[in-house]
Amino acid sequence: MIAPATLAIEDDVPPHRFAVTPALEALVVTLAITVAVASYVLISGANSPQRLIAPPLIALLLIANLVPGIALLMLLGRRVAMRRAARSPVGGGGRLHVRLVALFSIVAAVPMLLVTIFASLLFQYGVQFWYSDQARGMLENATELAQSSYARQLSRWEEASVTMAADMSNYLRERSLQSPDFSGYFYQQVYYRSLSEAALFKVTPQNEIQTFAVVNPYEIDFTRQVTPEAIRELRSGKPAAVSVTGDRIRTITMLPGADELFLYAGRVEDTKLLSEQTTRANAVLASYRQLLARSRSLQLLFNAALLGISLLIVGVAVWIALAVADRLVRPVGELVDAARRVAEGDLTARVPDPRSRDEVGTLARAFNQMTGRLQEQNSDLMTANDQLETRRALIEAVMADVSAGVVATAKDRVIRIANRSAIQLLGADGLVGKPLHEVAPELDALVQEGGREAIVQVGQAGDARTLAVRIAHAPTGPILTFDDITQQLLDQRRAAWSDVARRIAHEIKNPLTPIQLAAERLQRRYGGKIPAEDGTFARLTDTIIRQVADLRRMVDEFSSFARMPKPVFREESLLDAARQAMFLHEVAHPGIRFLLVHDDPGPMLVCDRRQIGQALTNIVKNAVEAIETRGDDEGGAVTMTLTETRHDGTGHCVAIEVADTGIGLPVERDRIIEPYMTTRARGTGLGLAIVKKIIEEHCGTIAFSDRPGGGTIVTMNFDARALVALDQGASAPEPAGDGQLVAMTRNRT
pLDDT tens digit sequence for 303-329: 778 888 888 888 888 888 777 777 777
What tens digit of pLDDT does each residue of 220-249 get?
677 777 778 877 777 777 777 777 776 677
**Contacts of 170-174 spanning 24+ positions with Cβ under 8 A:** 172/255, 172/258, 172/261, 173/257
User: CB-hemisphere CA count at 13 Å for 502?
Assistant: 8
What is d(CA 60, CA 374) in angstroms, rounded to the nearest whole number? 67
| CATH match for 154-278 among 1.20.58, 3.20.20, 3.30.450, 3.40.50 | 3.30.450
What is d(CA 249, CA 157) in angstroms, rounded to the nearest whole number? 8
Q: How many CB atoms lie within 10 A of CB 553?
A: 12
Which residues are paired to 467 by β-bridges? 456, 484
Strand 700-706 and strand 712-719: the pairing is: antiparallel
Phi/psi region, residue 48 (left: phi>0; alpha: psi -120 to 50; beta: rest), is left
What is d(CA 296, CA 553) in angstroms, rounded to the nearest whole number? 92
Quick check: 288 and 149 in contact, CB under 8 A? no
* Residue of 257, 259, 262 whose CA lies nearest to 230: 262
Q: Let me know if 114 is exposed, middle or buried by CB neighbors in 10 A (0-12, 13-18, 19+).
A: exposed
Domain boundaries, the chain: 154-278, 402-484, 489-560, 568-745
Non-local (6+) Cβ contacts of 252 within 8 A are 225, 226, 230, 231, 234, 240, 241, 262, 263, 264
What is d(CA 490, CA 502) in angstroms, rounded to the nearest whole number? 18
Asked, colleague to colleague, whether 154-278 and 402-484 share their fold, the answer is yes
What tens digit of pLDDT does each residue of 694-710 get?
888 888 998 888 888 88
Quick one: pLDDT band at residue 568, thresholds 50, 70, 90? confident
Look over the chain and give the mean of its residue pLDDT values, rounded to a whole number: 74
Quick one: DSSP state of residue 204?
Answer: -
Does domain 402-484 correspond to CATH entry 2.60.40.10? no
Predicted confidence at residue 687, as pLDDT, reads 75
Predicted confidence at residue 72, as pLDDT, reads 81
Whole-prediction pTM value? 0.35
Coil, helix or strand at residue 738: coil
Residue 53 pLDDT more than 60?
yes
Return the CATH fold of 568-745: Heat Shock Protein 90 (3.30.565)
Quick check: 404 and 482 in contact, CB under 8 A? yes
Residue 63 pLDDT more than 50?
yes
Predicted confidence at residue 5, as pLDDT, reads 37
